[in-house]
């Protein structure tokens, strides 16, 4: 009972803030809200001063005022337009994860607790916080020259906020409790799976709160891009990295968000815009692992134009099927071959086979033609993917979370490219990467590689054949000497089936029993 009251108290506090921003519920959702929730509009106050703007904008401001866990919840909801709608998801994607910094004394205490006083002393003095977000903040430190003569090194230390795990755990517990109550309101609420949403958010936050995992993500993407000439990530300093501390190389480069500084340093903005688009697509299609938070504050440019990314707390993965789907879809739209795009949806199984390829291609043409009919500088890949996901729902395509995260990141990446070069053609930048992936993955050379791998597997099977034959001889000898001893329940089930099923079914059950017995003997 006390727990329920505690949850209600927290929800009432959040409700008052949401009400003051006119988002409990939004006026646009008034007719959609269950009758049990409509009374909320009369309970919580509404501030006329806070209610200007779209629902998504108001919701973003309200979540920011509620604090770190609500900001994270909003960022997570931005990846689920199927739940909150495309417009609100787009507004929530702009949520800024920036908070006042915590005290430097707390940062020093965490260093000593996690690294020990002696190792922490090696790091020298911490700078003032250079960035502060909902989960952690970043400090700059300079290591003194080593005894072996190595020059001083400058590091970036990302340090978890004190007590942030406990604070998030309490709020997530409240979210989970509220989700369970909402699911009791009716089938429509259950269809939206609020409990599953909260579970996914909790897992995501748990991963972000172990900074060793962020270090591992940086190391993985560094390995993937080791041969790329126009992109790199900071090296992780594992000697100073723990669950609450991430130490990386300090990046002394021009922030991508400072357009004037980029021009002053002689960087080619058109080339940078192309590099950003192509880098993102290479990571997504070639590697299946991409930075999912590529806003300008996380990107820097080194002399020579090399792009450097930081902050790997939010990453996206695409399995081989999703990568092929994305590449085939983009290639099909680039060629304006809508039937090809429709066929890949059905071939991969994203759209049920009962739907007509021609009908689906017609719907895709309705998306593609208005976009490709515009000047190249106005064509948006992110908009195309957004409309694609909306139309595919009409053809019963289930939401693919990994593709939604890709689309959300593409919105940000396109925005960054257009800030650098307002006339930039997203499609022309994308074409070489998509076409190269198609050549490497589904072209003749890829088919030859698959055939070679198939021959290797066949060769291993043939090499193992003598062992298989020896096992078969052992099984035959054992069966001849001892017969088969089945568990009484198995024998009883077969006997019952014999009296009730056809000869084919009985034969299948005996074959299954024999196979299980053979497997058991093979383990001897």
DSSP string, 244-276: SEEEEE---SEETT-HHHHHHTT--HHHHHHHH
For residue 244, count other CB atoms closer than 10 A to its CB: 22
Q: Quick one: 108 and 59 in the same domain?
A: no
Q: What is the pLDDT of residue 49?
A: 46
The reply to whether 71 falls in a domain is yes
Question: What distance in Å separates the CA atoms of residue 279 and residue 73, rounded to the nearest whole number?
Answer: 28
Q: Quick one: 401 and 260 in the same domain?
A: yes
- CA distance to 43, 287, 474, per residue, from 435 (Å): 57, 15, 54
Q: Quick one: 169 and 309 in the same domain?
A: no
Across the strands, what pairs with 232?
A: 308
Rg of the chain, C-alpha, whole Å: 29
Q: What is the pLDDT of residue 113?
A: 96
359 is catalytic: no
Q: Quick one: 217 and 266 in the same domain?
A: no
The reply to whether 64 falls in a domain is yes
The reply to whether 233 falls in a domain is yes
Q: Quick one: 204 and 283 in the same domain?
A: no
Structure tokens at 201: 């958010």
Q: Are strands 136-143 and 131-132 parallel, antiparallel or unpaired?
A: antiparallel
Q: What is the pLDDT of residue 518?
A: 44
**Of the residues 250, 266, 301, which one is the last residue of a structural domain?**
250
Region of 288 (left: φ > 0; alpha: ψ -120 to 50; beta: rest) is: left
The reply to whether 203 falls in a domain is yes
Q: Are strands 245-249 and 153-160 parallel, antiparallel or unpaired?
A: antiparallel
Structural domains of the chain, count? 4
The reply to whether 456 falls in a domain is no
**Of the residues 216, 250, 284, which one is the last residue of a structural domain?**
250
Q: Quick one: 261 and 407 in the same domain?
A: yes
Helices (H) and strands (E) in the chain, counts: 24, 10
The reply to whether 455 falls in a domain is no
Is the Cβ–Cβ distance between 379 and 371 less than 8 Å? Answer: yes
Measure the N-to-C terminal CA separation of the chain; round to a whole number of Å: 56
Q: Which residue has the tokens 């076409």?
A: 435
Q: Which residue has the tokens 């891009």?
A: 225
Question: What distance in Å separates the CA atoms of residue 295 and residue 313, rounded to the nearest whole number?
Answer: 13
Question: What distance in Å separates the CA atoms of residue 423 and residue 376, rounded to the nearest whole number?
Answer: 8
Residue ranges making up the domain that contains 79: 1-97
Which one from 97, 293, 311, 421 is the annotated catalytic residue? 293
**Of the residues 78, 97, 116, which one is the last residue of a structural domain?**
97
Q: Are strands 307-309 and 231-232 parallel, antiparallel or unpaired?
A: parallel
Question: What distance in Å separates the CA atoms of residue 137 and residue 8, rounded to the nearest whole number?
Answer: 31
Q: Are strands 307-309 and 136-143 parallel, antiparallel or unpaired?
A: unpaired
The reply to whether 450 falls in a domain is no
Q: What is the pLDDT of residue 27?
A: 55
Question: What distance in Å separates the CA atoms of residue 93 and residue 80, rounded to the nearest whole number?
Answer: 10
Question: What distance in Å separates the CA atoms of residue 219 and residue 235, rounded to the nearest whole number?
Answer: 7
Residues of the chain whose pLDDT is less than 70?
1-4, 24-52, 79-83, 96-97, 147, 188-192, 373, 376-377, 398-399, 401, 442-524
Q: Quick one: 346 and 365 in the same domain?
A: yes
Q: What is the pLDDT of residue 46?
A: 53
Question: What distance in Å separates the CA atoms of residue 241 and residue 247, rounded to the nearest whole number?
Answer: 5
187-192 contacts at long range (C-beta below 8 A, 24 or more positions apart): 188/34, 189/34, 192/83
The reply to whether 452 falls in a domain is no
Q: Quick one: 360 and 334 in the same domain?
A: yes
Q: Quick one: 235 and 374 in the same domain?
A: no
Q: Quick one: 88 and 148 in the same domain?
A: no
Is the Cβ–Cβ distance between 245 and 110 less than 8 Å? Answer: yes
Q: Quick one: 135 and 258 in the same domain?
A: no
Is there a cis peptide before residue 25, judged by omega within 30 degrees of 0? yes
Q: What is the pLDDT of residue 523?
A: 46
Q: Quick one: 418 and 280 in the same domain?
A: yes
Q: Fill in the DSSP letter of residue 292.
A: S
Question: Reduced to 3 states, what is the DSSP secondary structure of residue 315?
Answer: strand
């Amino acid at each position: 009972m006390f727990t329920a009251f505690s949850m209600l108290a927290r929800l009432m506090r959040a409700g008052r803030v949401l009400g003051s921003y006119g988002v409990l519920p939004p006026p646009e959702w008034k007719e959609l809200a269950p009758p049990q929730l409509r009374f909320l509009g009369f309970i919580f106050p509404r501030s006329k001063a806070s209610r200007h703007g779209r629902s998504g904008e108001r919701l973003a401001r309200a979540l920011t005022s509620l604090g770190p866990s609500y900001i994270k919840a909003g960022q997570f909801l931005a990846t689920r337009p199927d739940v909150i709608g495309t417009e609100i998801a787009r507004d929530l994607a702009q949520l800024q994860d920036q908070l006042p910094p915590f005290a430097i004394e707390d940062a020093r205490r965490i260093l000593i607790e996690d690294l020990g006083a002696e190792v922490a002393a090696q790091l020298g003095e911490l700078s003032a916080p250079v960035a502060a977000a909902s989960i952690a903040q970043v400090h700059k430190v300079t290591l003194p020259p080593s005894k072996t003569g190595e020059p001083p090194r400058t590091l970036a230390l990302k340090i978890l906020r004190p007590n942030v795990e406990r604070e998030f755990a309490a709020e997530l517990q409240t979210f989970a409790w509220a989700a369970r109550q909402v699911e009791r309101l009716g089938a429509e609420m259950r269809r939206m799976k609020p409990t599953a949403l909260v579970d996914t958010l909790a897992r995501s936050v748990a991963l972000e709160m172990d900074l060793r995992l962020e270090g591992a993500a940086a190391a993985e993407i560094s390995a993937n891009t080791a041969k790329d000439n126009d992109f790199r990530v900071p090296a992780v300093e594992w000697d100073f990295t723990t669950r609450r501390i991430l130490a990386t190389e300090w990046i002394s480069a021009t922030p991508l968000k400072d357009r004037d500084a980029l021009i002053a340093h002689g960087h080619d903005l058109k080339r940078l815009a192309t590099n950003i688009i192509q880098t993102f697509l290479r990571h997504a299609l070639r590697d299946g692992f991409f930075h999912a938070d590529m806003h300008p504050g996380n990107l820097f440019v080194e002399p020579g134009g090399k792009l450097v990314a930081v902050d790997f707390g939010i990453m996206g993965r695409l399995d081989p099927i999703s990568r092929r789907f994305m590449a085939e879809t983009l290639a099909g739209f680039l060629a304006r071959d809508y039937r090809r795009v429709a066929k890949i949806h059905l071939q991969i199984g994203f759209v049920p086979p009962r739907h007509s390829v021609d009908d689906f291609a017609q719907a895709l043409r309705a998306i593609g033609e208005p976009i490709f009919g515009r000047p190249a500088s106005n064509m948006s890949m992110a908009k195309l993917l957004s409309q694609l996901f909306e139309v595919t729902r009409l053809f019963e395509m289930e939401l693919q979370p990994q593709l939604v995260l890709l689309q959300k990141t593409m919105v940000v990446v396109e925005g960054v490219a257009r800030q650098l070069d307002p006339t930039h053609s997203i499609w022309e930048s994308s074409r070489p990467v998509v076409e190269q992936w198609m050549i490497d993955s589904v072209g003749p050379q890829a088919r030859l590689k698959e055939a070679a791998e198939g021959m290797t597997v066949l060769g291993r099977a043939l090499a193992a054949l003598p062992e298989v034959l020896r096992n078969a001889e052992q099984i035959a000898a054992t069966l001849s000497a001892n017969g088969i001893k089945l568990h009484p329940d198995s024998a009883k089930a077969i006997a019952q089936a014999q009296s009730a099923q056809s000869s084919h079914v009985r034969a299948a059950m005996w074959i299954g029993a024999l196979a299980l017995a053979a497997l058991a003997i093979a383990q001897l």
